[in-house]
């Protein structure tokens, strides 16, 4: 009898463990076409967020026939991965120019919410992800932002939940930096309306930065406060549910020119040069160019520096991705997401590392 009871306990524990692992959200934003997605193993994802739809008037709009075909193909992938969620995304860095104005009125919010429901019903997709960069603070140059955006964003989420009900997911891409966290969102008021907050804990050093640093570090350093952990600690401190938080990883690198040859290029005056995808990342070729690989054990972030050229490359790699994934599990977050799938290597890429770390 005792042996039977012990076996039952072991079985239940193993089921609970398996369920916990299965519940680790792995979200991939996707900005490719209908064909390229087939290069990747979508069974390792729980969600694909199609990027991007835009506003046409007050309505969510799929821009052209090619976009429609891509969405339809993404939905068809559910046959490969039962339970896969395909989410429509609004906006992007430069794609939300009219958002502040449209979402400033009840009529605009309602028409938008109804259009979201219509498109989800039409495509058989599973929800909406709002990528408005940013409510109430400056984002893309020239885009309107006003203090009222902060409360209007709450009203927008409320309207979406009311129109969509519980059948569809509602999420948004949130800036992972302090100013956004403190000024853009009414965190205490949005809790009932959102399923997930996708924290863009990348581009923390970005195209407009005047000092170099890690663009997607896990932890803060004495020289750089902005980090994944900094964002999570802030939101936890104000009581936002951790089980609705998704941290972000970058499947691309950023190169900066450092004005001063010091500290291996980190935390120096400088400017952004260019970015490139992980699928173009060739460590050996970079070493031949004069780049040296470094691992920052405080930030838990890799970087490379070329002293002759005074150029620094900041990125996520296999080691940092595995640590971020484990962090999401250990902190009991909703999961981890990344920008974006078409930047990955089709085989042996960062998604493979993320999936393995989530299921070990």
Q: Per the domain annotation, does 130 fall within a domain?
A: yes
Beta-carbon contacts of residue 254 (< 8 Å; ≥ 6 apart): 203, 205, 206, 215, 272, 274, 275, 313, 314, 315
The reported pLDDT for the residue numbered 264 is 98
| Counted domains in the chain | 1
Q: What is the pTM of this model?
A: 0.94
User: What is the mean pLDDT of the segment spanning 69-79?
Assistant: 98
Q: Per the domain annotation, does 222 fall within a domain?
A: yes
Q: Per the domain annotation, does 225 fall within a domain?
A: yes
CB-based burial, 130-160: b 16+ in 10 Å, e otherwise:
bbbbbbbbebeeebebeeebbebbbbbbbbb
The reported pLDDT for the residue numbered 63 is 85
CATH of the domain at 243: 3.20.20.80
Look at the block and give the residue holding tokens 């997605």: 37
The reported pLDDT for the residue numbered 9 is 39
Please give the residue that has the higher pLDDT: either 20 or 185: 185
Q: Per the domain annotation, does 145 fall within a domain?
A: yes
In whole angstroms, give the CA distance from residue 317 to residue 212.
Answer: 19
- Express as a percent the part of the chain with pLDDT over 90: 92
- Express as a percent the part of the chain with pLDDT over 70: 94
The answer to whether residue 200 scores a pLDDT higher than 50 is: yes
How confident is the prediction for the chain on average, in pLDDT? 94
The answer to whether residue 14 scores a pLDDT higher than 90 is: no
Q: Per the domain annotation, does 292 fall within a domain?
A: no
User: What is the mean pLDDT of the segment spanning 255-271?
Assistant: 98
User: What is the mean pLDDT of the segment spanning 71-99?
Assistant: 97
Per the structure, the complete domain to which residue 221 belongs is given by 25-251+321-359
User: What is the mean pLDDT of the segment spanning 329-350?
Assistant: 98
The answer to whether residue 16 scores a pLDDT higher than 90 is: no
User: What is the mean pLDDT of the segment spanning 152-175?
Assistant: 98
In whole angstroms, give the CA distance from residue 179 to residue 64.
Answer: 35
Q: Per the domain annotation, does 271 fall within a domain?
A: no
Which of 65, 121, 113 has the alpha carbon at shortest distance from 90? Answer: 113
To 5 degrees, how large is the angle CA 287–CA 291–CA 295?
100
Beta-carbon contacts of residue 187 (< 8 Å; ≥ 6 apart): 235, 238, 239, 240
Q: Per the domain annotation, does 218 fall within a domain?
A: yes
The answer to whether residue 10 scores a pLDDT higher than 60 is: no
Terminal Cα-to-Cα distance of the chain (whole angstroms): 32
The answer to whether residue 6 scores a pLDDT higher than 50 is: no
Q: Per the domain annotation, does 295 fall within a domain?
A: no
Q: What six digits make up the tokens of 9?
A: 């306990």
C-alpha distances in Å from residue 301, one per residue of 29, 344, 350:
22, 18, 14
User: What is the mean pLDDT of the segment spanning 235-261?
Assistant: 98
The answer to whether residue 162 scores a pLDDT higher than 90 is: yes
The reported pLDDT for the residue numbered 22 is 52
In whole angstroms, give the CA distance from residue 355 to residue 347.
Answer: 13
Confidence of residue 8 (pLDDT cuts 50, 70, 90): very low
């Amino acid at each position: 009898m005792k042996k039977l009871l012990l076996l039952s306990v072991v079985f239940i524990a193993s089921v609970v463990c398996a369920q916990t692992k299965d519940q680790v959200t792995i979200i991939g934003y996707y900005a490719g076409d209908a064909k390229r997605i087939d290069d990747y193993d979508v069974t390792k994802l729980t969600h694909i967020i199609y990027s991007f739809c835009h506003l046409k008037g007050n309505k969510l709009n799929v821009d052209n026939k090619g976009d429609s075909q891509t969405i339809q193909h993404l939905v068809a992938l559910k046959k490969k991965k039962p339970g896969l969620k395909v989410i429509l995304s609004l906006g992007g860095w430069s794609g939300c120019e009219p958002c502040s104005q449209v979402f400033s009125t009840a009529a605009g919010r309602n028409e938008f919410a109804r259009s979201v429901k219509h498109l989800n019903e039409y495509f058989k997709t599973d929800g909406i992800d709002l990528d408005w960069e940013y409510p109430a603070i400056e984002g893309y140059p020239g885009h309107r932002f006003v203090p009222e955006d902060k409360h209007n964003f709450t009203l927008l989420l409320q309207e979406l939940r009311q129109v969509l009900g519980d059948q569809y997911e509602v999420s948004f891409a949130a800036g992972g930096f302090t100013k956004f966290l403190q000024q853009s969102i009414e965190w205490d008021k949005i809790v009932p309306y959102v399923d997930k907050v996708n924290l863009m804990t990348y581009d923390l050093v970005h195209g407009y930065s005047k000092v170099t640093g890690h663009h997607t570090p896990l932890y803060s350093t004495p020289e750089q406060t902005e980090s994944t952990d900094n964002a999570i600690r802030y939101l936890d401190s104000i009581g936002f549910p951790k089980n609705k938080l998704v941290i972000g990883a970058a499947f691309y690198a950023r190169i900066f020119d450092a004005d001063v040859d010091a500290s291996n290029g980190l935390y120096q005056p400088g400017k952004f040069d260019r970015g490139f995808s992980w699928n173009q990342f060739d460590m050996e070729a970079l070493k031949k160019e004069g780049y040296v690989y470094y691992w920052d054990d405080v930030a838990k972030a890799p970087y490379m520096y070329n002293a002759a050229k005074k150029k620094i490359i900041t990125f996520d790699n296999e080691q940092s991705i595995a640590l971020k994934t484990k962090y999401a599990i250990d902190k009991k977050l909703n999961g981890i997401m990344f920008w974006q799938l078409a930047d990955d290597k089709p085989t042996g890429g960062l998604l493979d590392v993320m999936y393995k770390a989530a299921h070990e």
